[in-house]
Amino acid sequence: MGLKRIDKTSAVPLYLQVSEGIRELIENQTWRQGEPIPSENELMEMFNVSRNTVRQAVSRLIAMGYLYIEKGKGTFVSKIFFNHPTDRLLGFSEEMKLQGFDPISKILKSGVFEASEEIAKELLINNGDKVYVLKRLRYSNGLPISIEEAFIKYNSFEGLLDGFNESSSLYSTFMEKFGVQPYYAEETVEASLANQEETVLLNVKVGSPVFRIKRRSFDRSGEILEFVKSVYRGDIYRINLHLRRIV
């Protein structure tokens, strides 16, 4: 267990240090969603602090939504949901930041490849034409949320991924290098089960529920900018629909 060291000489109040230590254990999934946290006495021993300090730290995390109390049972790690908006077009980082979360990415694959039949059909190009492929594992608040694989026409955006790194935004790169950005998109969502590779990357069990989302994004002129295939964890990701009855 990677326990955060408490510095009793620091100007940072002890309860804040303890709450941050607990939060890290939640975000790195040492303490998992729905599981009870250690008792007050155990927390006092773990962090070498008083009962009052532990109670202040736990109260803070309850207020922040990381923990919840079940009367007569104890204190548990909350289930955090990440929401997928359907009323506006956002990139992953924009989507997470608007919800108050901290997004990061890990690049799994990046380069120029030949388009498969599926990708060629989606991008309206020929089989074997060059395409950029950018595959990333997307995290939010330290949790792996999705695997995202983007395909972009090489001839239309030559140099797109030059200098692109894990802190780069694809949508920002489109604008900075080519003066275009996604204006509208077509998206399909399918309920599915995680395969072996996905369970490892997303840190879930084999056969766990996932959302498979396919998106084609277009600029204002109707030019296809990208085709993206994403896999989102079904246990912590929700898709919100806004419906209006027409009679």
Q: Report yes or no on 118 lying in a domain.
A: yes
Give me the domain span that covers residue 39. 14-77
Q: Report yes or no on 115 lying in a domain.
A: yes
What pLDDT does 192 receive?
A: 97
- 115 and 161 housed in the same domain: yes
Q: Report yes or no on 8 lying in a domain.
A: no
Q: Report yes or no on 3 lying in a domain.
A: no
Q: Report yes or no on 42 lying in a domain.
A: yes
- 128 and 215 housed in the same domain: yes
Q: Report yes or no on 9 lying in a domain.
A: no
What pLDDT does 212 receive?
A: 97
Has residue 1 got a pLDDT over 60? no
- 119 and 185 housed in the same domain: yes
Residue type, position 127, single letter = N
Q: Please tell me which residue, 25 or 247, carries the higher pLDDT value.
A: 25
- 90 and 209 housed in the same domain: yes
% of the chain surpassing 90 pLDDT: 64
Q: Report yes or no on 214 lying in a domain.
A: yes
Q: Which of 77, 95, 110 is the last residue of a domain?
A: 77
What pLDDT does 2 receive?
A: 59
What pLDDT does 140 receive?
A: 86
Q: Which of 52, 77, 102 is the last residue of a domain?
A: 77
Most confident of 73-77, 202-206, 210-214: 210-214
- 73 and 108 housed in the same domain: no
How many domains does the structure of the chain reveal? 2
Q: Residue 169: which of 85, 224, 227, 103 has the closest Cα?
A: 103
pLDDT tens for 139-171 read 987 889 999 999 999 999 999 999 999 999 999
CA distance 143 to 27: 6
Q: Report yes or no on 1 lying in a domain.
A: no
CATH number for the domain that contains residue 55: 1.10.10.10
What pLDDT does 124 receive?
A: 96
- 166 and 110 housed in the same domain: yes
- 47 and 71 housed in the same domain: yes
Q: Which of 47, 77, 107 is the last residue of a domain?
A: 77
Q: Residue 62: which of 78, 46, 82, 40 has the closest Cα?
A: 78
- 48 and 108 housed in the same domain: no
> Token pair of 224, please?
């296809």
Has residue 4 got a pLDDT over 80? no
Q: Residue 138: which of 104, 164, 90, 161 has the closest Cα?
A: 104
10 DSSP assignment: S
Has residue 119 got a pLDDT over 80? yes
- 105 and 222 housed in the same domain: yes
> Token pair of 36, please?
């009870």
Task: Quickly state the pLDDT bin for 108 (edges 50, 70, 90).
Answer: very high
Which of helix, strand or coil describes residue 228?
Answer: strand
pTM exceeds 0.85 for this model: no
């908006």: which residue's tokens?
A: 85
Has residue 117 got a pLDDT over 90? yes
37 within 8 A of 77, measured Cβ to Cβ: yes
CA distance 95 to 101: 9
pLDDT tens for 36-63 read 999 999 999 999 999 999 999 999 888 7
Task: Quickly state the pLDDT bin for 23 (edges 50, 70, 90).
Answer: confident
- 131 and 28 housed in the same domain: no
CATH number for the domain that contains residue 231: 3.40.1410.10
- 21 and 99 housed in the same domain: no
Has residue 223 got a pLDDT over 80? yes
Task: Quickly state the pLDDT bin for 95 (edges 50, 70, 90).
Answer: confident
- 67 and 117 housed in the same domain: no
